[in-house]
């Protein structure tokens, strides 16, 4: 506790509210009046400590300052000043907004989404590797969720170096034994800590993120991950077990080794960019609107509306039955305690309509849809709608003059790519020439957002590869002419960028073929009409798929847009002659099949995974709404999102 709070500390810092406190001091939010920026000031007061403890606390505090002063890493807080006044010591640091990983885990009430946990572990592994490569190595010695900040964009930062030490290989024991039970390795209670000691703590933290288990309740005896979270792979469970071995000689050897094994345990095959069997040749498609292929009948019935809520009793009854079966089944196997501890929060969410995955989807019809809509304050955000119970939740919270749109589920449903746009002038919409447009990826719960393709000032309309490793993005480099957009590929994990379609024209709206060897997109090449093309990944050669006569297109918004690919063919929106309708193109035969979705304009279609339904946006008297078209019955059903102007949707 500070002995006094002066109006301006050291003549420049105006102290604010308390951010947190611990065994070695308190941290306050403050303002640097000289540089006009927010800072965090850590205060260590030794006034009430016995002399020997005061000297030890001051030494630890000074050690933290000197350690941080020479380190530079995105996972570390920057130090800007260090001084003492009377019996108080002050450390001025970068202010890191967000919440601690401990608070995040408490708020979640269970394991984190696996992709999020792995991303956090990878970030911690990176910063620990940096510390251990210093000469001499820096051992953090107190890695735990309370000492990790999670920023709003999903970046982790270590925030407490109070007991970090420089590793001396010849030393038999640490001078002082500090640490947190459950997270600290055995040698920290009377032996010599070294870099592998941090690997123990990292393994414990990863275990907690994957299972929700509090390690302080079972120090040195973590329950098997598979008993708490059966979805975790064996390789990942083995990595955690090796990192948390009781004997230091049996542990993962280094942070680099941990990172490599983490990548290997979670890797998926990369897309095939070097070999392809060509399937599309240049041809003139045969339009046969009056003779559609067998199995596709013109639409006849009037649209029907999905009920906004199912009967509550049915959902609760199914959940109660599921819980009872889990208790009987897993209790008899001796793992009921561990499993129910981890899964009851998910079952509770399911009873409230929050977790769709609790009920197996046997119908083939998607259960979740993502869409963008404008709220009452005029801000466009992304929402998630449960198609079974009608409940929705807001995933993004954009600032004024900003919008989030064009959401896209990753193939496994764990991540969402979307477009963030910031208007530089009032009244500019739809990515005007002076707007900022970026592609971001977030977890399916709306957390852990991070920008991809930062080297391009304009990026939008992301589409996932079938294996979830790549994004195809409509993008433009700095200095390009207005709407001179290209299609580029970016590896979500490594950030590698590969150009695909780069002509002096407008290419956009990419969509991957089901086998991952081609990408369809709309483009305006030597034509007034927007038309569809497909580029081979192996050769980068593009083939024209649709060919419209110029006199059928009026203005720059006419033609074929927003393709989406499935085994059934390409579905896309066609704006021509004053009408907007959906069309399916059979890429093998070149035949078109218009979909009779009604008299209102229809666009931005998206296939269901089984290729039997199409999600699309339909014009209404009040703007746009979402609807789905069933291929087998040729019927359209409106989807009630509860928000006017719902559009640019995806589903899973």
How confident is the model over 139-159, as pLDDT tens digits? 888 899 989 999 988 999 998
The lowest-confidence range among 297-306, 327-336, 403-412, 457-466 is: 297-306
Higher pLDDT, 375 or 156: 156
* Rg (alpha carbons) of the chain, rounded to whole number: 28
531, 505 contact by CB (below 8 A): no
pLDDT value at residue 280: 33
- Residue 481 pLDDT grade (very low, low, confident, very high; cuts 50, 70, 90): low
pLDDT value at residue 555: 61
Tallying the residues shown for the chain, one arrives at 652
* Helices within 29-113 (DSSP H only): 51-69, 101-108
pLDDT value at residue 22: 60
Strand order in the sheet with 542-544: 506-512, 518-524, 531-536, 542-544
- Residue 162 pLDDT grade (very low, low, confident, very high; cuts 50, 70, 90): low
pLDDT tens column, 96-105: 999 999 999 9
- Residue 334 pLDDT grade (very low, low, confident, very high; cuts 50, 70, 90): very low
What are the residues facing 506 on neighbouring strands?
524
Which one from 32, 88, 103, 142 is the annotated catalytic residue? Answer: 142
pLDDT value at residue 179: 66
99-266 folds as Transferase(Phosphotransferase); domain 1 (1.10.510)
Classify 422 as helix, strand or coil: strand
Instruction: Find the mean pLDDT for residues 443-467.
Output: 89
13-94 folds as Phosphorylase Kinase; domain 1 (3.30.200)
Comparing CA positions, the residue from 120, 99, 309, 271 lying closest to residue 205 is 120
- Residue 328 pLDDT grade (very low, low, confident, very high; cuts 50, 70, 90): very low
Instruction: Find the mean pLDDT for residues 270-291.
Output: 37
Higher pLDDT, 62 or 213: 213
Asked whether the predicted pLDDT for residue 407 surpasses 90, the reply is: yes
Instruction: Find the mean pLDDT for residues 260-273.
Output: 69
**Which residues in the chain are classed under CATH 2.120.10.30?**
395-502
pLDDT tens column, 558-593: 888 999 998 889 999 988 767 789 999 988 888 889
Structure-token match 């483009």, residue found? 523
The lowest-confidence range among 5-14, 253-262, 290-299, 377-386 is: 290-299
Q: What is the residue-wise DSSP string for 192-217?
A: ---HHHHHHHHHHHHHHHHH---GGG
Asked whether the predicted pLDDT for residue 181 surpasses 80, the reply is: yes
**Which residues in the chain are classed under CATH 1.10.510.10?**
99-266
**Which residues in the chain are classed under CATH 3.30.200.20?**
13-94
In eight-state DSSP terms, residue 92 is: E
403, 414 contact by CB (below 8 A): no
pLDDT value at residue 229: 92
Max CA distance (Å), the chain: 94
Higher pLDDT, 170 or 587: 587
Asked whether the predicted pLDDT for residue 343 surpasses 70, the reply is: no
pLDDT value at residue 449: 87
Comparing CA positions, the residue from 418, 358, 417, 412 lying closest to residue 388 is 358
- Mean pLDDT, rounded, of the chain: 78
Higher pLDDT, 267 or 302: 267
Active site (annotated) includes residue 198: no
Q: What is the dihedral angle through the alpha carbons of 120, 79, 199, 169, rounded to the nearest 10 degrees?
A: 160
Q: H or E segment at 237?
A: helix 234-243
Q: What phi and psi, each to the nearest 5 degrees, are found at residue 97?
A: -75, 160
Look up the pTM and report it. 0.49
Instruction: Find the mean pLDDT for residues 152-176.
Output: 60
**Is 2.120.10.30 the CATH number for 395-502?**
yes
Q: How far apart are CA 221 and CA 79, in angstroms?
A: 37
CB proximity list for 540: less than 8 A, separation 6 or greater: 499, 500, 501
**Quick one: 471 exposed, middle or buried, by C-beta within 10 A (0-12, 13-18, 19+)?**
buried
- Residue 261 pLDDT grade (very low, low, confident, very high; cuts 50, 70, 90): very high
As given in the structure block, the two tokens for residue 339 are 């499993």
- Residue 430 pLDDT grade (very low, low, confident, very high; cuts 50, 70, 90): very low
- Residue 550 pLDDT grade (very low, low, confident, very high; cuts 50, 70, 90): low
Classify 225 as helix, strand or coil: helix
- Residue 529 pLDDT grade (very low, low, confident, very high; cuts 50, 70, 90): confident
Q: What phi and psi, each to the nearest 5 degrees, are found at residue 240?
A: -65, -40
In three-state form (DSSP H/G/I as H, E/B as E, the rest C), the secondary structure along 358-401 is HCCCCCCCCCEEEEEEECCCCCEEEEEEECCCCCEEECCCCCCC
């Amino acid at each position: 506790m500070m002995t006094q709070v002066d109006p301006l500390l050291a003549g420049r810092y105006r102290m604010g509210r308390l951010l947190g406190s611990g065994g070695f001091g308190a941290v306050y939010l403050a303002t640097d009046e000289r540089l006009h920026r927010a800072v965090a000031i850590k205060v260590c007061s030794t006034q009430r400590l016995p002399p020997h403890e005061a000297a030890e606390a001051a030494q630890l505090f000074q050690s933290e300052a000197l350690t941080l002063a020479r380190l530079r890493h995105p996972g570390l807080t920057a130090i800007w000043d260090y001084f003492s006044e009377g019996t108080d010591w002050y450390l001025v640091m970068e202010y890191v907004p967000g919440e601690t990983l401990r608070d995040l885990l408490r708020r979640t009430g269970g394991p984190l989404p696996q992709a999020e946990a792995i991303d956090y572990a990878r970030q911690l592994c990176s910063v620990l590797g940096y510390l251990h490569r210093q000469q001499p190595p820096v051992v953090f010695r107190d890695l735990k969720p309370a000492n990790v900040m999670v920023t709003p964009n999903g970046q982790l930062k270590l925030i407490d170096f109070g007991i970090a030490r420089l590793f001396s290989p010849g030393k038999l024991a640490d001078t002082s034994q500090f640490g947190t039970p459950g997270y600290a390795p055995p040698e920290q209670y009377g032996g010599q800590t070294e870099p592998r000691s941090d690997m123990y703590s990292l393994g414990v933290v990863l275990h907690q993120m994957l299972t929700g288990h509090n390690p302080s309740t079972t120090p040195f005896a973590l329950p098997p991950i598979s008993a708490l979270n059966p979805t975790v792979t064996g390789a990942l469970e083995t990595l955690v077990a090796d990192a948390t071995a009781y004997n230091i000689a049996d542990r993962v050897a280094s942070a680099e080794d941990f990172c490599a094994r983490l990548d290997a345990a979670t890797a998926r095959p990369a897309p095939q960019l070097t070999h392809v069997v060509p399937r599309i040749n240049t041809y003139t498609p045969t339009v046969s609107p009056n003779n559609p292929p067998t199995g596709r009948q013109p639409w006849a019935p009037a649209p029907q509306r999905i009920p906004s809520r199912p009967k509550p009793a049915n959902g609760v009854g199914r959940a109660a039955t599921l819980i009872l079966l889990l208790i009987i089944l897993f209790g008899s196997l001796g793992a009921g305690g561990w499993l129910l501890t981890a899964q009851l929060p998910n079952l509770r969410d399911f009873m409230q309509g929050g977790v769709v995955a609790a009920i197996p989807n046997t119908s083939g019809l998607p259960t979740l849809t993502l869409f963008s809509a404008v709220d009452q304050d005029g801000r466009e955000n992304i929402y998630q709608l449960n198609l079974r119970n009608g409940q929705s939740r807001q995933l993004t919270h954009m600032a004024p003059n900003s919008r989030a749109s064009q959401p896209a589920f990753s193939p496994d449903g764990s991540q969402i790519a979307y477009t963030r746009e910031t208007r530089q002038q009032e009244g500019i919409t739809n990515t005007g020439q002076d707007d900022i447009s970026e592609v971001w990826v977030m977890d399916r719960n709306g957390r852990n957002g991070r920008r991809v393709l930062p080297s391009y000032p304009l990026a939008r309309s992301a589409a996932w590869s079938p294996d979830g490793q790549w994004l195809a993005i409509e993008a433009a480099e700095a200095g390009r002419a207005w709407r001179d957009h290209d299609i580029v590929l970016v590896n979500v994990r490594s950030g590698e960028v590969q150009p695909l379609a780069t002509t002096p024209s407008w290419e956009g709206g990419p969509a991957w073929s089901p086998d991952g060897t081609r990408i369809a997109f709309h483009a305006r090449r030597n034509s007034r009409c927007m038309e569809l093309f497909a580029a081979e990944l192996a050769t980068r050669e593009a083939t024209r798929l649709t060919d419209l006569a110029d006199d059928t297109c009026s203005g720059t918004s006419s033609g074929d847009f927003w393709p989406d690919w499935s085994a059934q063919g390409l579905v896309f929106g066609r704006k021509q002659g004053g009408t907007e309708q959906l069309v399916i193109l059979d890429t093998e035969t070149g035949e078109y099949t218009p979909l009779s979705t009604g008299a209102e304009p229809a666009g931005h279609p998206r296939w269901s995974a089984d290729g039997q339904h199409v999600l699309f946006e339909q014009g209404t008297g009040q703007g746009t709404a979402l609807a789905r078209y069933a291929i087998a019955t040729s019927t359209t059903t409106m989807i009630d999102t509860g928000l006017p102007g719902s559009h640019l949707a995806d589903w899973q």
